[in-house]
Amino acid sequence: MEKIEYGFGQHLMLDGYGCDREKLMDIDLIYDFLSNYPAEIKMTKIMPPYVFKYAAPVPEDWGISGFVIIAESHISIHTFPEKLYLSLDIFSCKDFDVDKAIRDVTRIFDIKKSEVKLLDRGHEFPRSIRTVERFIRAERSQLTV
């Protein structure tokens, strides 16, 4: 009997502190990062990034937010230049090199300190529906004997 593999994928959440303010303000840099980075981690970008500047009611809360949908899920970033802070998510149903992603983002945005969380999402999500189907058929055939 084949082993059924479960789990939807990895979700990297990175909070960066002490970032380079100029980079956090650079809408082109953030757009280029979201446009090019999926290929760096062997993902498939399926649309151009959506990136915009947010003018908050509290002036120091302004920033840039961006999002790119990849075939495997998404990458998002939110920057707060006045606070030298960014939050980044990479969520993918395909495994990727998390350590490389952390190093790359740290280098690109000159992060001085970071908090990192890595979740395994969808623990009961069957990776191969065909394998599950064969397993269920085999199990049902044993019940009717």
Catalytic positions, written as ranges: 73, 78, 93
- 50, β-bridge pairs: 67
Closest to 66 (Cα-Cα) out of 79, 56, 82: 79
Cα gap 61→55, rounded to integer Å:
8
The distance of Cα 99 from the centroid of its chain, to the nearest Å, equals: 13
